[in-house]
Amino acid sequence: MRMKAWIAAACVALAAAPSGAPAQDQPAPARAAAGDEVFYHIFMRSFRDANGDRQGDLRGLTGRLDYLVSLGVTSILLTPLQPSPFYHNYFATDFEGIDPDFGTMQDYLAFIRAAHQRGLKVYLDQEIQYVAEGHPWLTEARGNPSSPYSRNILWNRPGNLEPEPFLSYPAWEGYDGRYIGIAMVDMRRPEVRRYFERLFLFWLDPHGDGSLRDGVDGFRIDHMMDDLDNKGRLTNLFADFWQPIFRAVRARNPRARIIAEQADWGYGDDWLRRGDADLVFAFPLRGALTHLDKREIVTALGEMARRTPGGRSQILFLENHDTDRFMTLVDSDPARARMGAALSLLLHGEPLLYYGQELGMRGRTREGGFSDGNHVPLREAMRWARDLEAPGSAIWYAGDRPWWTRRYNRSEDGVSVEEQAEAPDSLLNWYRTLLALRARRPELRSGGQRVLCDDETAMLCIVREAGAARTLVLANLGPSPARARLPADLGGGWTDLLHAGEAIEPAALTLAPMEVRILGTR
């Protein structure tokens, strides 16, 4: 099996110092504890190009790890790295490989080591329920029941003539116009589960020696379901397939965490309980935050608190690789962009930033058909320089197609690290300020949460508490100036955490529309 060969390759990689690695005589900073994490979600192909081919790659990412540290994130969540005929790398043709566009196994291991030296955790996205045309399981078993891979695919007709497809379509259109078949893996088979268990353990412990020194810190499970695609053919997957794999992962690394993308985009309580995941995505809250609607937000927070078991958590986010960019949803309004950032980073849960969100990158899903090209606008190149076509820019989608000719992000538009890094009032520096505040205030990481001002006004009032430490978030989500109706027993001793100064009486503050104030006591 190729996983054994990888261990030899891993040993070679250890001799190569990662690009931009911290000095070896400096101790590595401790990685964030569970519950204290801030995730940064990277679409690998679009992040940073290191070799001039306009494809984002592992060396490019490694060279920008210090940017992530300076931003204040603790953990990197990567989209899939495996080879695939689709540009997004979901639906693999080789579960054990690295897409050559991204680099080599040596590049991958150098990246992991460089991230860990900086105290960053790494999570890999795993979408293993399907294979794409070109995977040997499908290629060699189609029409050949005697193939050793025959039982790895779920077939509809005798003779291996028709695999069960992803959802309802046997082939899906790629952004380059090709139609590519996708088939279900037969997850009922014990030998299939054991294969994937070994695969997860390799990514967790590449050397197989228990050191975990170059292993990932957890996994995201894409499109996780108990009854895959609700077809009634692959059922009870939580208990029979996922739980045994998760047990093996935790036995090898008790600190590893499992993130489930709940396929229904609901509150995720079933995935946290029966599915045994550690985290799910706060999809309902995300919807409320995109509307900046107080009643929706309060309702979502209440349901999350009720449905999330102890010891499990929700990931708070505004956007990801499947959703429209937040800046586009708020019509490029800087006040609403700042408000969304504050709420997604300071409410109870573990925040996630999608690459470029901190810059206000834009993008909206194209309409018409099922081509994965429709999502290219959500996955445009990370904006490092004011010139979109500067060296290092991962503009793999450039050409005469709409995702380039009608692209959202353009040169000299103010949406780049180069243009925002030194501007005190930029969105980038607002994110940095909020994340620094979260890092130094324990109540913002692991404290309790109470909703105040639960009334008909547009003022959202949230207090976060941990022992004597308290943070009060006041947010005016309405169109007119407003004051908060706060309880009389709130207490005093409040100061402005963003603009240190004299004592403030929260009830006396008048907030402009879409203004947020962050007060604290100690």
Question: What pTM value is reported for the model?
Answer: 0.95
Distance (Å, whole) CA 510 – CA 213: 52
Q: Delimit the domains of the chain by residue range.
A: 2-129+190-287+313-333+348-440, 130-186, 442-521
Residue 5 vs residue 492, higher pLDDT:
492
Q: At what angle do helices 283-291 and 294-307 cross, to 10 degrees?
A: 170
Q: What is the mean pLDDT of the chain?
A: 93
Q: What are the residues facing 465 on neighbouring strands?
A: 448, 470
Mean pLDDT over residues 9-37, rounded? 56
Distance (Å, whole) CA 280 – CA 315: 6
Residue 30's pLDDT band (cuts 50, 70, 90): confident
Q: Which residue from 450, 405, 455, 443 is spatially nearest to 521, judged by alpha carbons?
A: 443
Q: Which residues contact 458 (CB under 8 A, 6 or more apart)?
A: 294, 476, 477, 478, 479, 482
**pLDDT of 13 strictly over 60:** no
Q: Tell me how many degrees the CA angle 492-496-501 measures, rounded to the nearest 5.
A: 95
Distance (Å, whole) CA 242 – CA 237: 6
pLDDT of 27 reads 57
**pLDDT of 62 strictly over 90:** yes
Torsion of CA 96, 99, 105, 111, to 10 degrees: -120
Residue 522's pLDDT band (cuts 50, 70, 90): confident
Residue 5's pLDDT band (cuts 50, 70, 90): low
**Range from 5-19, 102-116, 250-264 carrying the lowest mean pLDDT:** 5-19
Residue 438's pLDDT band (cuts 50, 70, 90): very high
pLDDT of 485 reads 93
List b or e across 434-465, with b for residues whose CB sees 16 or more CB atoms inside 10 angstroms: bbebbeebebbbebebebbbeeebbbbbbbbe
Domain boundaries 2-129+190-287+313-333+348-440, corresponding CATH code: 3.20.20.80
Distances (CA, A) of 59 to 104, 212, 341: 10, 21, 29
How do residues 300-353 score in pLDDT, each as one tens digit?
Answer: 999 999 999 999 999 999 999 999 999 999 999 999 999 999 999 999 999 999
For the record, the structure tokens of 423 come out as 């501007």
Residue 462's pLDDT band (cuts 50, 70, 90): very high
Residue 477's pLDDT band (cuts 50, 70, 90): very high
Q: Which residue from 508, 463, 515, 465 is spatially nearest to 485, judged by alpha carbons?
A: 508
Residue 416 DSSP symbol: S
pLDDT of 91 reads 98
Q: Quick check: 404 and 398 in contact, CB under 8 A?
A: yes
Residue 502 vs residue 141, higher pLDDT:
141
Exposed/middle/buried for 429, CB within 10 Å: 0-12, 13-18, 19+? middle
Q: Which H or E run contains 11?
A: helix 2-14
Domain boundaries 442-521, corresponding CATH code: 2.60.40.1180
**pLDDT of 119 strictly over 60:** yes
Residue 500's pLDDT band (cuts 50, 70, 90): confident
